[in-house]
Amino acid sequence: MSDNVFNKIAAMMTEIQSYTIDNAEQLEAFRIQYLGSKNAIKPIFGEIRNVPNEQKKDFGQKVNELKQAAEGRFNTIQTLLKKQSQSEAAADIDLSAPAYSGFGGARHPIATTMGKIIDIFERIGFVVAEEREIEDDWHNFTAMNTPEDHPARDMQDTFYLKDSVTRLLRTHTSSVQSRMMTANKPPIRIIAPGRVYRNETISARSHCQFHQVEGLYIDEKVSFADMKQTLLYFTREMYGADKEIRLRPSYFPFTEPSAEMDVYWGLESETDYKITKGTGYLEILGCGMVDPNVLSNCGIDPDKYSGFAFGMGIERQAMLLYNIGDIRLLFENDIRFLKQFQSVI
């Protein structure tokens, strides 16, 4: 009888040692079989009463060995399987894949729009001129045929510097015209991109800061036809050959005659509606023949030279190009807004 029990133990030891455990499911089955609450070793313990006294010690040892063998196999194989699944996970990583580089930044839509405009004019010989944002009254207004009592000064609500009546934040890039004309001799052919400031209430359509690109061409015998052709070239390049444009007579103190140019944009989206004030036309620039007074204010002989100038707003063009419905988005630098321009070059 006791031989029988010892044989049982030996058979179970073989079973434990040869049990096939190749995966987690088999390991779990093994655990339930030999280490679980109703495991197969337990009933063997109960057989102790059939073992003669002198063999009881030996029996106890042998049964314990069974338990230890089961625990040992379980722990070893559990560790092995863990290692295996880790290295499998590692093998899934594609080491040749490009590293995630995070948000590398994006060009701001204002910069992109300005860049496009600059490119177009550089192709026909215009040179970029950058100038100061803090200007004096003379270059911003007086030289531009807008003396102190001129009503046109009210058109542009000015930020003056604290304690100064002559120093101001430029209200338009036209101040670069007087800077260029006083410092250079014709021919002059420049474009001046930059930021301008006006004391206006901030809303979806207007802001107290915005950007313009100014253009100025002075030489002998420059005509209104040259201006029209230059601006036509610009709109064709910027908006495509089939965009409808129109010149409307207008008034600016520094040009005579003066005009404004509109591009037909369409009236499909809400943004189109808001920005074109429901007309479908987008006014993109003011322009005209440089007033002879401006030429002589800046030391250029108006009998010998003539020229044209224009000044265009950037925000509105950017808003329509990228379907941005609110000008304030352009100045808030919200990362969620900026991220959308990652693919724009």
Kindly identify the residues of this chain, within the stretch 149-208, that bind ligand DAH according to CB under 6 A: 172, 174
Beta bridge partners of 255: 252, 290
| Among 131, 214, 272, 283, interactor with ligand DAH by CB under 6 A | 214
Tokens found for residue 277: 């004030």
Q: How far is the CB of 227 from ligand DAH (least distance, A)?
A: 9
Tell me if 210 contacts ligand DAH by CB under 6 A.
no
Buried/exposed 259-278: b ≥16 CB within 10 Å, e otherwise: bbbbbbbeeeeebbeebbee
Cβ pair 171, 156 in contact under 8 A: yes
SS3 312: strand
| Among 114, 311, 324, 330, interactor with ligand DAH by CB under 6 A | 311
CB nearer to ligand DAH: pick between 73 and 172: 172
Per-residue x/- mask for ligand DAH, residues 221 to 260, rule CB under 6 A? Answer: -------------------------------x-xx--x--
Tokens found for residue 170: 């430029």
Q: How far is the CB of 175 from ligand DAH (least distance, A)?
A: 9
Q: How far is the CB of 158 from ligand DAH (least distance, A)?
A: 12
Say how many residues touch ligand DAH, by CB under 6 A.
Answer: 13
> Residue 280 half-sphere exposure, CB side, CA atoms within 13 Å?
8
Q: Helix (H) and strand (E) counts for the chain?
A: 14, 9
CB nearer to ligand DAH: pick between 30 and 310: 310
| Among 129, 287, 314, 318, interactor with ligand DAH by CB under 6 A | 287
Output the CA–CA distances (angstroms, integers) from residue 175 to 76, 128, 169, 181, in the order listed.
83, 14, 11, 10
CB nearer to ligand DAH: pick between 109 and 286: 286
CB nearer to ligand DAH: pick between 214 and 272: 214
Tell me if 286 contacts ligand DAH by CB under 6 A.
yes
> Residue 20 half-sphere exposure, CB side, CA atoms within 13 Å?
1
* Selection from 325, 333, 327, 303 nearest residue 315 by Cα: 327
CB nearer to ligand DAH: pick between 2 and 184: 184
Residues of this chain that interact with ligand DAH (CB under 6 A) are 172, 174, 214, 252, 254-255, 258, 286-288, 309-311
